[in-house]
Chains A and B, each alone.
Chain A
Amino acid sequence: MVISEPIRSEIDAEIAKFPKPRGALLRAMHLVQAEHGHVSTDCARELAEIFEMRPIEVMEVVSFYNMFFDKPQAKHHVYVCTNLPCSLRGARVLLAQLESHLGVQAPGDTADGRIHLGHEECLGACAYAPMMRIDDQYFEDLDVEKAKSILDSLGE
């Protein structure tokens, strides 16, 4: 088993809350990904058993959503919102500066594989632009220096 016992019981508890088991699939994927960093083929196989689906159906769901990954990921995900409201307030300049600060072309990982830098579509922070999402957290009202120092202080 690759999915741990505690996560497995959490998934079972979630399944009980929905009229059909599959209503808990997205939640289960979030839980699995929080534990493993991505939804591996092995995890997908186990999820398929739990939800009585075919593994390919599980992977179809994984690939449909931007926030699920089927491959190992960098430790931190940094996304600069480059949709229209953020772009009007300098998001593209910010992204370019962060690309050269980290030495990476977005979307891409730093050489040490620690940080993934990408752009994202609207994150609902339009008045507080430019902004970036790092993992689960929003950082808003940024300027280039502020954003760089946030990146520099990211934990290992």
Chain B
Amino acid sequence: MLQSPYVTSYLTEHFGNDEFTTLDGYERLGGYQAARKALTEMSPDDLIELVKASGLQGRGGAGFSMGMKWSFMPKEDDRPKYLVCNADESEPGSFKDRIMLERGAHQMLEGILIAAWATGAAATFIYIRGEYSFPADCVERAVAEAYEKGYFGANAMGTGFSHDVRVTRGAGAYICGEETGLLESLEGKKGQPRKKPPFPAQYGAFGMPTTVNNVETYSHVPHIINKGIDWFRAFGTDKSPGTTIFGVSGHVARPGLYELPLGTPLSEIVFEHAGGVPGGRKVKGVIPGGMSMPILPAGLLDVPMANEFLREQKTMLGTGGIMVMDETTCMVRVASIISYFFRDESCGQCTQCREGTGWMNKIVERIERGAGEQSDIDVLLDVAGKMEASTICAFADAAAWPIQGLLRHFSEDFIAHIGGRKCPFPESFEL
């Protein structure tokens, strides 16, 4: 079952303590002081500047500056403004938001209240993936407690500021994690991403100016208010400050969650914290940030887990979901599982994505069963290249990148299947 992180820091320090999940307990442990301070002592502009200066980057995958996002919200605009909390965690290999919802709902809500004050938002819509039934129950309970205490509603914390929170449960669609797919779904439609521009800050939820941030990103905010920028920037790297919650899965001795500073070397997370591969086997490859992010081979694991370093290796931090694969793993099988997923989840709007994900999956499966041709590798690379940067949303890129990564570092596995006309890794996935 879901367990508290093996290594904790400021976000997850109290996740093992049941008290932290109740409003009273959260306040006893210092909760809601940051929101009170923000709403009573700080102007929205000061808050936006503070969060900008903290360097806090979104923890949902794209890594965009949270303060910048807030500053895009139009100031001279009479329309109601909205926030969205993206709790549609569906990126394979990612399970950190789930524990943030189950064990840290008030911490997230406090971040939301502060963000609402900073952006002048009238309401926040928390969109939780439909399968997260228990986490959604936890959030709904926390929202009800916060309303009862007067922290949300017409007169939030007695300041005259009005802010409502609504919880929407999704119904099973990966694409609803894409921010405009989420907005469509929130409005009761098929979750097909919107063309941009207009961006959500101009035309977001229900057509109103909207900022979308991830569960974990909101949760950092109270700590930055309480302890200041210098304290926050002491964690992580210059360009990527703070901690994040890495989720480690696959072939490791201690799979689980680890809250560590950004910039922690991937090798330290895999070998020291997660205990390395059991049974004396060697690592073959590691996906560093959820399934959309290209794989790294064993020789490149010393990379610090921050985007400025990962980009040099043609991959990204993504959601921090780390998947470890040992030497028995067939990388063509991995490509087959990955391409099946993206084929299954493509929303079908854009031709490049709808057709491209299908083609990639068909070709990879053909290679996997020993019926591939040498030219298939070139076709794969050609299709993947044509899917990049050519569609309404980044889903097609996210489908192309991992296949490109596998071909970049493990082309010998593909060639062996094609030449030998069968899979040379009989033990793979039979654990």
Contacts and interface: CB of A to CB of B under 8 A. Distances in A.
B304 interface: no
Interface string B173-206: 1100000000001111111000000000000011
B353 interface: no
A101 B384 CA distance: 40
Interface string A89-125: 1101100000000000000000000000000111111
B327 interface: no
Given A84-B323, A88-B250, A122-B91, A128 B188 contact: no
A127 B249 contact: yes
B429 A65 contact: no
B323 to A, nearest CB: 5
Given A19-B80, A26-B170, A138-B134, A124 B89 contact: yes
B300 interface: no
B421 to A, nearest CB: 23
A29 interface: yes
Interface in A1-31: 17-20, 22-27, 29-30
Nearest to A33: B171
Contacts of B291: 83-84, 122
Contacts of B80: 19
Nearest to B348: A64
A141 interface: yes
B325 A136 contact: no
Interface residues of B, number: 64
Interface string A36-74: 000000000000000100000000110011111000000
B338 A126 contact: no
A19 B121 CA distance: 13
Contact of A25 (B188, B206, B341): B188
A65 B187 contact: no
A126 B323 contact: yes
A148 interface: no
Contacts of A85: 92-93, 249-250, 321, 323
A66 B171 contact: yes
Interface residues of A, number: 46
B334 interface: yes
Given A26-B185, A88-B329, A138-B134, A19 B208 contact: yes
B430 interface: yes
A109 B173 CA distance: 22
Interface in B81-119: 89-95, 97-98
B429 A26 contact: no
Contacts of A20: 187, 206
A122 B92 contact: yes
A129 interface: yes
Nearest to A21: B188
Contact of A121 (B169, B334, B341, B429): B341
Contact of B334 (A18, A84, A90, A138): A84
Contact of B90 (A65, A93, A122, A128): A122
B132 interface: yes
A126 B171 contact: no
Nearest to A30: B169
A80 to B, nearest CB: 13
Residue picked from A30, A65, A82, A84, most chain B C-beta under 10 Å: A84
Contacts of B337: 82-84, 87
B249 A68 contact: no
Most chain B CB within a 10 A radius of its CB, from A66, A85, A125: A85
A64 B206 CA distance: 20
B410 to A, nearest CB: 14
B130 A124 contact: no
A66 B185 contact: no
Contacts of A87: 337, 429
Nearest to B185: A26
B345 interface: yes
Contacts of B251: 88-89
Contacts of A75: none
B334 A126 contact: no
Nearest to A141: B1
B227 to A, nearest CB: 29
8 contacts: A19-B123, A19-B205, A64-B173, A84-B291, A88-B324, A122-B93, A128-B3, A128-B255
Given A84-B334, A126-B94, 11 more contacts: A17-B166, A18-B206, A19-B206, A30-B130, A67-B172, A84-B92, A88-B325, A120-B131, A124-B94, A136-B134, A138-B134
When A and B form their complex, which 9 residue pairs have the shortest distance between CB atoms, in order from nearest?
A25-B188, A66-B172, A65-B171, A126-B249, A22-B188, A127-B255, A122-B92, A85-B249, A67-B172
